[in-house]
Amino acid sequence: MAASRAAATPEQASNRLEEQRIRQAASRAAETPEQTTTRLEEQRTRQAASRAAETPEQTTTRLEEQRTRQAASRAAETAEQTTIRNTDKRTRQAASRTAETAEQTTTRLEEQRTRQAASRAAESSEQQQVRREEDRRRRSNSRASRWSFMEREAFQYDPTKNYDNHPQLYIGRMTEICSYCDALKWSGEAPGMCCSNGKVKLPSLRQPPEPLESLMSGTTTTSKHFLENIRKDAIANDGNADTLGQLVILPSTFTGSPRHMHEYTQDAMTYVRNYGRPDLFVTFTCNPTWEEIQEELLDGQNPSDRHDLLARVFKQKLIKLMNIITKSHVFGPTQCWMYSIEWQKRGLPHSHILIWLKDKIKPDEIDSVISAELPDRQQDPRLFQVIVKNMIHGPCGSINPGSSCMKDGKCTKRYPRQLIQDTQTGEDGYPLYRRRSPEDGGFKARIKTKFGNSIQEIEIDNKWVVPYCPLLSRIFQAHINVEYCNSVKSIKYICKYVNKGSDQAMFGFGKDGTTVDEVEQYQLGRCISSNEAVWRILDFSIHERHPTVVHLAVHLENGQRVYFTEDNLHERINEPPKTTLTAFFLLCQKDEFARTLLYCDVPKFYTWNASEKAFKRRVQGTSVPGYRSIRATNALGRVYTVHPNNFECFFLRLLLHTIRGPTSFEALRTVNGRKCATFREACQLLGLLEDDTQWNATMTEAATIQSPSQLRNLFIILLLVCGPSNPGKLWESYKESLTEDILIKARRDNPGLALNYTPDMFNQTLIILEDKALAMAGKDLKQLGLPTPLRTLGDRLTREILRETSYDLNDLNEYISTNEPLLLPDQKAAYNTILDRINRKAGGIIFLDAPGGTGKTFVINLLLAKIRRKSEIAIAVASSGIAATLLHGGRTAHSTLKLPLNLTQCETPLCNISKGTGEAKVLQECKLIVWDECTMAHRKALEALDRTLQDLRGNGKLMGGAVLLLAGDFRQTLPVIPKGTMADELKACLKASYLWRHVHKLELKTNMRVHLQGDVAAGQFAQQLLNLGDGKIVADPTNGLITIPNNFCNIVDSIETLKTSVFPDIRRCFNDHKWLCERAILAPKNYSVNTINLQIQQQLPGVDISYKSIDTVVDIDQAVQYPTEFLNSLEPPGMPPHSLVLKVGSPIILLRNLDAPRLCNGTRLCVKSLMPHVIEATILTGCARGEDVFIPRIPMIPNDIPFEFKRLQFPVRLAFAMSINKAQGQSLKVAGIHLETPCFSHGQLYVACSRVGTGKNLYIFAPDGKTRNIVYRTALQ
């Protein structure tokens, strides 16, 4: 047989085994139970005898073969087979253990423990670490699997599902019995809640005596009257301060006190610092009609009689709510959360909850998560009843002026809300949710409400609905207000509101029986309701959060707080108590890893042992690469805040957030080996403080390497942008360096004279500086705090006119004669139409619709030259600085037209130009105003210009009778509305303006490259771009993604390939400025841009230089509320980061207009030299290409933060990659597009692709070659 089997082919062996399995299955199927038992017993006997005769080597071989077969078998299993096998195994194991005797169970468990102990004793430290990691992973997966049934369910709420009674959500009946005191409890309540596990023993409550027992029964008319009215007397007495017997002063250490709640507000700001703005703000209110409460009420009781039930049930419901948010991830995985409990005046508890999500909710997802509309009664009757009963505000206002929410004739909650068709962004940081009118598909409902002393039925619509999440409302059947936090503007309000604490009251006290003219004493007290009292008695937390925030002490040397008595006075003086700060110094002395940490980072890796007053390494958490014995958790540290008036302690705290691993107070104030006398001095040496030494250092560094003309440019930028406190002193210190070239010229012109600096030379410098200041910002030197130069001619009024009329007429004539014949037919038609409108003085607005490559800039510059040739005024502006540099004499619209900074907040904005000024004179006399890239402008900018021109020109016609030429392409991005929705962008679009109906439209269609060069590939690419911009590429209806055509561009399969395709051999080529400026990678999101920039910069040779910004609040009294490290964490749009890392040779992009048109917002430069206070860079793009310039740190104040804070930093970012919005107006030869995160707004994909002229130089990384192309059809109509 052995020889026969050895000679068999694999197919024969397989057939034989299959036949054997069939015969064996048939044989076993025919067995009687007795035969089966006998066979198995014989099999076990043979197996035992066989294994007893094995040698150790045979046993090892058998087990190894068994493991191999088992592994191969399981690898070949399908998912269904694995499930069946595990189920069978669990069934067999359960049956086996059920049949065990008590002795067998004991023996089995003992053998299991012995084997486990032997196995663990034989483990190496590496094996032990792997085992523990695996155990933690299994436990984590096990916990997660119990809650995975509702993953992201809030985004896909289904009215047909039964969410209510899921075992993980239903809290059940109060059926658990305490084994110590026989108290009834819910299964989710803590075991020792009732009697501390038998430690608290109370005598049985005796029955009340008559007639009290009858009065409390609620079964007779008399007892019902008694129960209904007894509380009215109590409430009346509670409202009368004269009947209060005793006032309890609320100490500052009391849980819920203002100072206590302030600590939690700062903890919330710590979360913001680490994780950004919160995503959701949820208010959850107890519902006294919950069946869990109603079922436990005794006969005749109302929920108001049982505050213990209200508190306990609400606590259980709150736990379930937090579980489905943080464990089931109904909104997606959470990063952190916090909540606090408050009580309404009527006594019901409610919770304010903040949620930070890992994956931010996108603007187009808001409507799927949050609704402010009545549900469809037919499709979702259960949700409809919940919303009508719990989520309707008021009604109030004119319908019910006596409503409790009314104050001064207005609703304090701003109801009724405006009915709108689509969700939009509100100015307070909250969205204006979609509330459709009945005519647009909204629903109505009839509700009964109280008006005075009567109940009436009224009809309501979506104006009165409080925003809610359908899933949460359906599950919990209560008032659950859900708000989306779409802006950093909402942080201040939310973080304070969620921790504001209960209501406060002022009580006055006077002597009984006397007339009190003035209250003798006021004490601040806090109203504690019955429900809050129960909550505290049951020791329920009023505040919870995750992850933990560890509070870290900050104090000067020997400045820690000491508590002492007469007996231990000398001991405490000689040995003051250790604090977390002194323990941190000791830790850094002994622990190498701790010396790599900032003070606030320590709790992530170490726990605070309060009894030993020392930090200990964590034993749980994830391992830290390079430090095998160190574990990391998500715990956060927060150093107590210090007011800036406490100077030294404030600067000490600043250093603790800057210097890693200090070993003592002395080490903390040692900078580059120099021991500073004070912490303030150390901060100054490290450049952490803003003062005029910054500007002195900036000028000193620049003066050593650059020419006087470049130094003058830098000096005027410092005066205009940075606002030094003593500009006159700065002038006196550097006037010789600023005038050096004038002295050299004078010496060269007069070689026989020993000339030195003279007042006339300094005056020439002042004239040059003032000309520069007037050109850049319209300010003279007197306004900037410098001496006024002596001039012989000219004034402000003529200067503005001269700037717009001082063009070389010969150059203009030559430009026109050379280029006018080159106009294509459609260009010539548009050109003649616009000139005809100007010549006829017809005025009005013209829109030149011109896709990329159709010669828009060519036509505009020709029009400008045609008007200026007659010494008439033509103003050229653009929405971006980059676009402005392409126009002859172009400037940005904001700087030229003096558009208000708070444009979007103004109802009827006007340009900040006064009559009688030079700017007004220019606008009064101009014949043509050109506004390029107009599609990026907010409609209110156009309306502000119209009002201003009508006023300045004294002409009520459109644009005051002037011709306004708007040029652009509505396929490109619309006005940027941070976190805005589609409705926000369309509302801001020029086409939404009342002026648009008066606009005359002209079109350019011919692609110049195709027409002039016959480039067929460019023509095909241009047509594909138009199809992309018009939304003609069909998207997959299942996911909304388009497939990028293979003949459109080069599709790459990884980010690395994208980087090497756009920047090949960068270490060799980065010094070639032409090569560097003609390529970039574009991405929709800034976080992708930042990551790519740092990765590419690491490939350059040289050392990284890190520049830290100086961040301060403008109002010093807000410094405690918004500590420095929180300000450092903010990255408002259009601002440089707190930590700016650069290398020599890196491309950078300017974020502010410093010296237009040379240095505009969007100008790209290459770093030439990095000095502590100034960056020297070479301009890569625009009219000043190749010129070297200085860039200083400048103060920047964002306008979309709910408080004023100033960041002093270089106004640049790396520019290997840039955001698509920032790239609009940039021209590239080679472009890469990173679409791992798809585009999120109209026209972004079109803008990104149209930066190049041909598809062969376009590289796109998109998963599976698919991406989202968002096109708003309304914007194109």
Give the containing element (helix H, strand E) for 1142: strand 1139-1142
Question: Which tokens belong to 800?
Answer: 């503005």
Please, how many CA atoms are within 13 Å of residue 105, restricted to the half-sphere of its CB? 10
Q: Does the pLDDT of residue 215 top 90, yes or no?
A: no
The C-alpha torsion from 237 through 239 and 242 to 244, rounded to 10°, is 70
Q: Predicted confidence band at 40 (pLDDT cuts at 50, 70, 90)?
A: confident
Q: Give the distance between the most distant pair of CA atoms in the chain.
A: 132
Contact yes or no for 486/276 (Cβ under 8 A):
no
Q: Is the pLDDT of residue 1117 over 80?
A: no
The whole-number pLDDT of residue 315 equals 94
Single-letter amino acid code for the residue at 177: I
Whole-Å CA distances, 366 to 360, 361, 363, 485, 592: 11, 7, 6, 11, 48
Domains by residue range for the chain, with CATH? 380-464 (no CATH), 549-681 (no CATH), 693-793 (no CATH), 802-1006 (3.40.50.300), 1036-1099+1216-1277 (3.40.50), 1105-1142+1147-1213 (no CATH)
Rg (CA), the chain: 38
| Residue 283, pLDDT score | 93
pLDDT confidence band for 238 (50 / 70 / 90)? very low
DSSP letters spanning 876-921? EEESSHHHHHTSTT-EEHHHHHT--TTGGG-SS---S--TTSHHHH
Q: What is the pLDDT of residues 657-716, one digit of tens each?
A: 999 999 999 999 999 889 999 998 999 888 888 777 788 888 888 887 778 888 898 888
**Residue 275: strand, helix, or coil:** helix
Distance (Å, whole) CA 1203 – CA 1218: 28
DSSP-derived secondary structure for 574-614:
HSPPP-HHHHHHHHHHH-TGGGGS-GGGHHHHEEEETTTTE
pLDDT (tens digit per residue) in 962-1001: 999 999 999 998 888 876 778 888 888 999 999 999 999 9
The answer to whether 521 touches 511, Cβ cutoff 8 Å, is: no
Please give the structure tokens belonging to residue 678: 């004070």
**Residue 965 has which token pair?**
């030429």
Name the pLDDT band for 569 (thresholds 50, 70, 90).
low
Mean pLDDT of 1244-1249: 92
Tell me whether the omega of the peptide bond preceding residue 303 falls within 30 degrees of 0, making it cis. Answer: no
- Which tokens hold the place of 603? 């709790």
CA angle 157, 162, 168 (to 5 degrees): 95
Question: Which residues make beta-bridge pairs with 892?
Answer: 878
Tokens describing residue 782: 């007197």
Q: What average pLDDT does this structure show over 194-199?
A: 81
Question: Is residue 1197 a contact partner of residue 1171, using CB atoms and an 8 Å limit?
Answer: no
Q: Following DSSP, what letter does each residue of 36-100 receive, concatenated?
A: HHHHHHHHHHHHHHHHHT--HHHHHHHHHHHHHHHHHHHHT--HHHHHHHHHHHHHHHHHHHHT-
Mean pLDDT of 836-847: 91
CB 329 within 8 A of CB 149: no
Name the least confident of 151-160, 523-532, 605-614, 879-888. Answer: 523-532
Cα 1205 to Cα 718: distance, rounded to the nearest angstrom = 20
- Going by their DSSP bridges, the two strands 614-617 and 549-552 should be labelled as unpaired
Contact (Cβ atoms closer than 8 angstroms) between residue 336 and residue 951: no
Evaluate the CA torsion angle 974, 980, 986, 988 in order and state its sign.
Answer: negative
Task: Check whether 441 has a pLDDT greater than 70.
Answer: yes
pLDDT score of 190 more than 60 = yes
How many helices and strands, by DSSP H and E, does the chain display? 46, 46
DSSP of 368-399: HH-B-SPPPTTT-HHHHHHHHHHSB----TTS
- pLDDT tens readout for residues 265-322: 788 888 888 888 889 999 999 999 999 999 888 887 888 888 889 999 999 999 999 9
Q: Which of 524, 519, 523 is nearest to 502 (CA)?
A: 524
The pLDDT of residue 523 is above 50: no
Q: Are strands 674-675 and 670-671 parallel, antiparallel or unpaired?
A: antiparallel
What is residue 564's predicted lDDT score, i.e. its pLDDT? 54
Encode pLDDT of 910-956 as tens digits. 998 888 888 888 899 999 999 999 999 999 999 999 999 999 998 98
Q: What is the tens place of the pLDDT at every residue in 1124-1176?
A: 888 888 888 888 999 999 999 999 999 888 887 788 888 899 999 999 889 99
The conformation of residue 435, written as its DSSP 8-state character, comes to B
Q: For the stretch 942-957, what's the b/e string if a residue is b when 16 or more beta carbons lie within 10 angstroms of its beta carbon?
A: bbbbbebbbbbbeeee
pTM: 0.72
Distance CA 1233, CA 1261 (A): 6
Tell me the pLDDT tens digit for each residue of 106-122.
888 888 888 888 888 88
Tokens of 451: 């008006």
- What is the average pLDDT value for the chain, to the nearest integer? 84
User: What's the pLDDT score for residue 47?
Assistant: 85
